[in-house]
């Protein structure tokens, strides 16, 4: 009996010592969060990476052998969807295989971005693509040493929805960008208005009416001051920020550290373009500024620009001379005349027999 009472007293003291109150250092919400996360982790101990799609795998295989299909690319990609063409162009750019023929063969009228950075595309290729892709809103021509003012002028002429332009990155591209300032600034037919920024796109005569963001990492002081004074609507080198810039949110395509076509090839194995040792070339801060260009380099760049501008005219003249030479040869060669007369005679005989 005494032993039972002792046991009862022990249990009573143990219950009194129990602290059933919540500890103030552990709020209810924290406990709920912890319990919820523990419950989720018990259900999903780890998340498996998403496997690549069949299309991405196929593009990876095609990209590794891209140089083998460049000659017939126009026929191969004729019926491809627009996103597949853009992915192929992004792979070609990373493999240093993007040229005029390649980008012209892949150009699609529904494209809204065009990344040509570091490629061998010239004014001819850029002009042809601009004629096809008239709804482009963002273009990257940085480190394109073969693109001059002529190509930029054609781009602005055909792509009236262009909002983002990325340029510079090398001496030639910086020089081209500096010469294109007059092309990029909108010009008005009616000078009586208070501000061109309040006008509609159709009321602007020349220039890039929709251009809002200009990414030019090594812009010189004079060019920056000219744009800020004469065209304050164009924002140069915007910085990423959680807040809007001048009341407008900075788009992803206007950030210098982001490639325009990164999201297009995010599911493709990077080994696809590692075949040719692709690496993004960072802009060196120790390079010469446009104002420090040697005089000989300025003359050389001017000659290259003039030579590129006159190349189509020279090719046209060469074709005309070739046709004239062939016509003269036909008129003067007795043998060719005899063959032509014999051919006509045989045709007339066949017609009579019928």
CATH (domain of 146): 3.80.10
Q: Is residue 106 part of a domain?
A: yes
Q: Is residue 268 part of a domain?
A: yes
The per-residue pLDDT for 271 is 84
Q: Same domain, yes or no, for 88 and 76?
A: yes
The per-residue pLDDT for 216 is 93
Q: Is residue 24 part of a domain?
A: no
Q: Is residue 349 part of a domain?
A: no
Determine the structural domain holding residue 332 and report its residue range.
295-341
Q: Same domain, yes or no, for 184 and 244?
A: yes
Q: Same domain, yes or no, for 287 and 300?
A: no
State the Cα–Cα distance between residues 180 and 159, nearest whole angstrom. 16
Residue 263 has pLDDT above 70, yes or no: yes
Q: Same domain, yes or no, for 265 and 124?
A: yes
Q: Same domain, yes or no, for 186 and 202?
A: yes
Q: Same domain, yes or no, for 201 and 334?
A: no
Neighbours of 198 (CB within 10 A): 8
Q: Is residue 201 part of a domain?
A: yes
What domain count does the chain have?
2
Q: Same domain, yes or no, for 195 and 316?
A: no
Q: Same domain, yes or no, for 232 and 209?
A: yes
Least confident residue range of 49-58, 71-80, 159-168, 343-352: 343-352
Q: Contact, 230 vs 82, CB < 8 A?
A: no
Element (H, E) at 7: helix 2-17
Query: Tokens standing for 225?
Result: 């001051």
Tell me whether strands 138-140 and 164-166 are parallel, antiparallel or unpaired.
parallel
- Rounded to the nearest 5°, which phi and psi values hold at 164? -125, 130
Residue 278 has pLDDT above 50, yes or no: no
Domain end: 265, 292, 319, which one?
A: 292
Helices (H) and strands (E) in the chain, counts: 13, 7
What is the percentage of the chain residues whose pLDDT exceeds 70? 71
Q: Same domain, yes or no, for 213 and 90?
A: yes
The tens digit of pLDDT for each residue in 192-250 reads 554 545 544 444 446 788 899 999 999 999 999 988 888 888 999 988 766 655 557 88
Q: Is residue 354 part of a domain?
A: no
Q: Is residue 246 part of a domain?
A: yes
Mean pLDDT for the chain? 78
Q: Same domain, yes or no, for 323 and 227?
A: no
Neighbours of 241 (CB within 10 A): 9
Q: Same domain, yes or no, for 99 and 213?
A: yes
């Amino acid at each position: 009996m005494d032993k039972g009472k002792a046991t009862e007293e022990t249990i009573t003291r143990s219950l009194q010592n129990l602290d059933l109150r919540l500890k103030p250092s552990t709020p209810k919400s924290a406990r709920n969060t912890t319990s919820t996360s523990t419950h989720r982790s018990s259900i999903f101990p780890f998340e498996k990476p998403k496997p690549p799609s069949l299309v991405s795998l196929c593009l990876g295989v095609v990209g590794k052998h891209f140089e083998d299909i460049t000659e017939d690319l126009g026929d191969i990609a004729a019926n491809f969807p627009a996103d597949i063409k853009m992915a192929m162009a992004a792979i070609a750019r990373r493999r240093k295989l993007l040229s005029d023929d390649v980008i012209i063969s892949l150009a699609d009228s529904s494209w809204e971005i065009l990344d040509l950075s570091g490629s061998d595309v010239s004014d001819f290729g850029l002009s042809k693509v601009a004629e096809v892709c008239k709804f482009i809103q963002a273009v990257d021509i940085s480190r394109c040493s073969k693109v001059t003012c002529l190509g930029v002028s054609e781009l602005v002429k055909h792509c009236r929805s262009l909002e983002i332009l990325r340029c510079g990155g090398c001496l030639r591209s910086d020089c081209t960008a500096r010469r294109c300032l007059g092309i990029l600034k909108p010009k008005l037919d009616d000078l009586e208005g208070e501000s061109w920024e309040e006008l509609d796109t159709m009321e602007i005569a020349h220039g890039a009416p929709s251009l809002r963001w200009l990414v030019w990492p090594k812009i010189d002081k004079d060019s920056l001051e000219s744009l800020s004074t004469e065209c304050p609507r164009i924002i140069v080198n915007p910085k990423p920020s959680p807040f809007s810039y001048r009341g407008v949110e900075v788009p992803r395509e206007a950030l210098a550290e982001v490639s325009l076509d990164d999201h297009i090839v995010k599911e493709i194995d990077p080994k696809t373009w590692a075949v040719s040792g692709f690496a993004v070339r960072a802009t060196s801060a120790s390079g010469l500024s446009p104002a420090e260009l040697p005089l000989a380099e300025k003359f050389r760049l001017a000659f290259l620009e003039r030579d590129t501008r006159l190349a189509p005219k020279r090719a046209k003249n060469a074709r005309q001379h070739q046709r004239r030479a062939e016509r003269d040869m036909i008129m003067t060669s007795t043998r060719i005349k005899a063959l032509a007369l014999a051919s006509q005679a045989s045709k007339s005989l066949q017609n009579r027999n019928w």
